[in-house]
Each structure stands twice: as structure tokens, then as C-alpha cells.
Amino acid sequence: MAMDIGKLVLLGLLAILAVSVVAPDIVQQYFGGVTTTTSQTYTYAQGEGQAAAAAQTTVTTAAKPMYPVKVVTMELKDAFNPKAGIPNVTVEVIPISGTESKEQLKVIASSPMRRKVDEAVSDADGVVTFDGGRIFTEKPYLYSIRGDTDVYDKMVVYAIPAPEGIFAPIDSYPVEEPVYLYRVGSWYDISDDADNIINVSVTGLTGMQLIEVPITIGEAEAGAVLKNPVLYFKSPEGKELEVGDIVSIYVMKDSGNDLIPPEVATQNLVDWIDVAPIALGGSLTDEEGNVYMTMQDKAQYTLKIQFDADQIEPGYDSLQIVLDDLGAYRGTDDTTRGTKADPMILTINFVA
């Protein structure tokens, strides 16, 4: 009997040795060892999500064993109503190294070739249950929260700590902190004009002409936000403006918050047409530099637009003033790469 036990022990050691040669990562995963980890801390430019600086630290530590967790739960809560869960939101669990930048995480989360170890949909209470048993302790995962048209996306990187002891499998683990999500808001009507269309007749006009266009900028829905809101000047396809059609665009605030940055509001905005969006302000920002416009953010402005009546082609030239979210005209969110809030568009047509 003693001989049989000795043989079993010897066979076990030989099996571990064989696995360590063929698949050393498995031995490392379950029995630990010494590992060298490199961590990077990124600083993002506000509203751009760009890595501006990275500090790198190399640390050599004893690796803790990694065990599968049978069930992992996560709570999704309304950022404006923390007692309310957000149902029907899909969350994917994607393995990562833990050193990725925000932009790299976006690419991973939105890639059609992304590798998911689990995914689930939040229930009526906002609880997401991952029961595939493929989430391991001590390993970082990207929890990719794929908001629908009612909720903005969010990315959370989280690693479940290893239990005490060498062999201590976990039946269940609730992620300690809820994830707070913002609901997608809507814009106030940008103009009092019917269908947000202004027709400017140029018949009989010559030389430089000035029109004044009042606009309203603001988030109109209680308990919701507009993420990274922008103002964009564009000429619609088929009615593109030529250089010199519009000579200048100046904006004056009539009332409300400073939603257009003062350093931008003093510029001639004609150079922004079809070039780049203007980032607007909001009363909330997060740790990543995202700006959120809430219901308390509202302002009235007057646009003073000067045009050349001799150069404008009636019926063929138009200017659009666009309000949109996610940092661009028809900008897309982090994980779904989907648009969220409906844009608000005021169209100025130059007619005969």
C-alpha cells in the first residue's frame, strides 16, 4: 500500500513536471510563483480621451493563485437616482493585460473579433449575473457596458482578489461597488422657427449683409445628460458653401450658463465651418475628463452672421447649426460605437 502511494506521488510529480514544460502558464495560474508586472497610469486631456502622459512602474512580486469564480454579480445603478437599478443593459467580460490605455480599451471593446469570457444582461433591479465560471481571481477583465439608446456606454476594469489559502475556490463574488450609468438626454429646441428652418431672401441685396439668429443650447430632460456636447457649423451635402459666402460668425450670450467657452465665443467662427466641432460646457465631469450637460445647463445666444450677397447662390447655399453629443456630429460611444442623443439642427437657407 505504501508502495502504491509512493508511485502515485511520483506519477503526480511527473505529471506536474510535464505540464510545466508543455503549458507553464497553467502551473503558474494554479500554483503561483514570482512574476514581474508593469503598471501604467495614464492622464487624459479633458474631453478628448487621449493619453497625455504615462508613468511606468515595474514591480516584482509573488504571484497569487488564480481560481475560477462560479458566479460574479455586478450592479448597474442610475447616476442620478442611486437607489434605482438600470435593467436590460448588456455587459461583456473581456480578458485584458491591465496596462491598456483608454483608447486601446475602446478598440478592444468595439472590435468585432473581441474575445468574451462571459456576458449577461441586467435584470429588473439592475443586477448582472455572470455564471459561466470563466472569470478568474487576480486577473484583470474589462467589463464592457454596452448601453442602448437610453444609456451611455461605460468601461470598467476590475480584478477579483484571490482568497486566502492555497486551495480556496469561490462559489460567488459580488463586485463591491455599483457601476453608475448616465441616461441619454435630449436637446432643447434650438430655435422658435417652424421645423428649425430659416429662409433668408437675398433678392435685391448686394454687398455685405448681416443677419441675427437667436439659438438655445441646453439639455431638456430631467435625470439625463448629454455626454461631451458639441456645437458644429456645417454646410449640407449638395448645398456646400464656398469660401467667402459667409464672411463672419460671431456669438453673443444673451442669458444663462457659459456653455460656449469664452475663449471660443470671442473668435470669428467662420473658420469652424465643416472643420471641427466646438466642445460645449456642462456642470458635470468625470475622472476621465468627459463633460456632461445636465438640465441645469441652458443658455440663449445670438449668432451674428455676415454674408456676401453678391457671392451667395440663392437656392444652392445653406448653413446648418448643429448640436450633438459624444464629441462630434453623429459621434459614437465607447463600446457600442453607436450614436446616442438625436442631434438638434437649425438650417439657414439662402433663397431668391
Task: Read off the pLDDT of residues 264-286 as tens digits, 9 standing for 90 and up.
Answer: 999 999 999 999 999 999 999 99
Query: What torsion, rounded to 10 degrees, do the Cα atoms 322, 327, 328, 331 define?
Result: -110
The answer to whether the beta carbons of residues 85 and 180 sit under 8 Å apart is no
Are residues 157 and 90 part of one domain?
A: yes
Q: How many helices (H) and strands (E) does the chain have?
A: 4, 23
Are residues 341 and 209 part of one domain?
A: yes
Count of CB atoms situated within 10 Å of the CB of 192: 9
Task: Read off the pLDDT of residues 67-114 as tens digits, 9 standing for 90 and up.
Answer: 899 999 999 999 999 999 999 999 999 999 999 999 999 999 999 999
pLDDT for 168 = 65
pLDDT for 166 = 57
Binned at pLDDT 50, 70 and 90, residue 194 comes out as confident
Task: Read off the pLDDT of residues 158-189 as tens digits, 9 standing for 90 and up.
Answer: 999 988 765 667 899 999 999 999 999 999 99
Average pLDDT score, the chain: 86
Question: Average pLDDT for residues 327-335, to the nearest whole number?
Answer: 96
Q: Tell me whether residue 58 is in a domain.
A: no
The torsion region of residue 49 among left (phi > 0), alpha (psi -120 to 50) and beta comes to left
Asked which of 139, 158, 182 is the last residue of a domain, the reply is 182
Q: Tell me whether residue 148 is in a domain.
A: yes
Are residues 114 and 72 part of one domain?
A: yes
Q: Tell me whether residue 142 is in a domain.
A: yes
pLDDT for 62 = 52
Are residues 202 and 123 part of one domain?
A: no
Q: Which domain holds residue 164?
A: 66-182
Nearest to 216 by CA among 248, 257, 183: 257
Question: Which cell numbers in the block locate residue 111?
Answer: 472590435
Are residues 220 and 90 part of one domain?
A: no
Are residues 92 and 241 part of one domain?
A: no
**CATH number for position 241:** 2.60.40
Binned at pLDDT 50, 70 and 90, residue 66 comes out as confident
Q: How far apart are alpha carbons 188 and 220 in whole angstroms?
A: 5
Are residues 223 and 154 part of one domain?
A: no
pLDDT for 304 = 98
**CATH number for position 95:** 2.60.40.10
Are residues 247 and 110 part of one domain?
A: no
Q: Tell me whether residue 277 is in a domain.
A: yes
Are residues 330 and 302 part of one domain?
A: yes
Q: How far apart are alpha carbons 167 and 160 in whole angstroms?
A: 16
Q: Which residue has the higher pLDDT, 150 or 35?
A: 150
| Residue 318 pLDDT > 70 | yes
Listed range (51-65, 163-177, 336-350) with the worst mean pLDDT: 51-65
Binned at pLDDT 50, 70 and 90, residue 295 comes out as very high
Are residues 273 and 249 part of one domain?
A: yes
Q: How far apart are alpha carbons 349 and 315 in whole angstroms?
A: 7
Question: Average pLDDT for residues 218-234, to the nearest whole number?
Answer: 98
pLDDT for 32 = 46
Number of domains in the chain: 2
| Residue 15 pLDDT > 70 | no
Asked which of 182, 205, 234 is the last residue of a domain, the reply is 182
Are residues 178 and 237 part of one domain?
A: no
pLDDT for 49 = 37
| Residue 115 pLDDT > 80 | yes
Asked which of 182, 206, 239 is the last residue of a domain, the reply is 182
The answer to whether the beta carbons of residues 307 and 316 sit under 8 Å apart is no
